[in-house]
Amino acid sequence: MSSDVVGVLLAGGQSRRMGGGDKCLKTVGGETLLSRVIARARPQVGPLLLNANGDPTRFSGFGLPVVADVVEGFHGPLAGVLTGMDWAADQVPATRWIATFATDAPFFPLDLVDRLLAAVEEAAAELACAKSAGRTHPVFGLWPVALAGDLRSTLVDEQLRRIDAWTARHRLVEVSFPTEPFDPFFNLNSPEDLAAAACLARSNSETKKQ
């Protein structure tokens, strides 16, 4: 059941291409990216937390636990995955899975977690990630908490940071999603992307009213 899955919003990036700062606090159509991501992720999981480094009080208005990376130094998304695994093991010890979401992609599918869970079961896989237009999106993934020890060794002992290099060591199933009328994993990396996202948000809102 997706309600047994812990959701982890990954906001630990440095946002260099967006000019630095917290990319997830940029606005699209009058709403922050983080607000939009929370609205899409919350119905798909049970507990939901935000993985972000620095002063957590800047996210105090979102009503989520904010957890910094459990390994020192900037290790990329894998550090956020491990952080989510550790938090889940400590706070929700009965859970088997965490699901991760990028906080710069505000249009991801509302059935993402259910489809990842179904694919893992059907393929007898260890973990799952999304795919669209021939590209994998490992940050949108389903991860077993039981692999926390393996991942910690990979990050700390091997200093391996590439997310696809680690997933290649395990039984991964990729779940394809359609890209019409647009790619739901469109992520925002520039002011131009923000403008494009605002157009998409406006178009979606108008479609729902019809």
Query: Which tokens is 189 given?
Result: 């990396």
> For residue 180, with 0-12 CB atoms within 10 Å meaning exposed, 13-18 middle and 19 or more buried, which class applies?
exposed
CB-neighbour burial class of residue 51 (10 A; exposed 0-12, middle 13-18, buried 19+) = buried
Task: Extract the tokens encoding 89.
Answer: 């093991």
Confidence tier at 207 by pLDDT (50, 70, 90): very low
Confidence band for 190, pLDDT divided at 50, 70 and 90: confident
**Is 0.85 surpassed by the pTM of this model?**
yes
List pLDDT tens digits, range 155-171. Answer: 999 999 999 999 999 99
User: Quick one: pLDDT at residue 13?
Assistant: 61
Across residues 101-109, what is the average pLDDT? 96
Mean pLDDT of 24-31: 93
Q: Is the pLDDT of residue 98 over 50?
A: yes
Chain segment 32-64, per-residue pLDDT in tens:
999 999 999 999 999 999 999 999 999 999 999
- The pLDDT of residue 19 is above 70: no
Token pair, residue 40, equals 């899409």
Question: What span, in angstroms and rounded, lies between the C-alpha atoms of 87 and 167?
Answer: 20
Give the chain's domains with CATH numbers: 2-209 (3.90.550.10)
State the Cα–Cα distance between residues 8 and 206, nearest whole angstrom.
30
pLDDT digits (tens, 9 = 90+) for 130-187: 999 999 999 999 999 999 999 999 999 999 999 999 999 999 999 999 999 899 999 9
Within 66-190, residue ranges assigned H as helices are 77-91, 112-123, 148-156, 163-167
Q: Has residue 1 got a pLDDT over 80?
A: no
pLDDT, residue 210, reads: 41
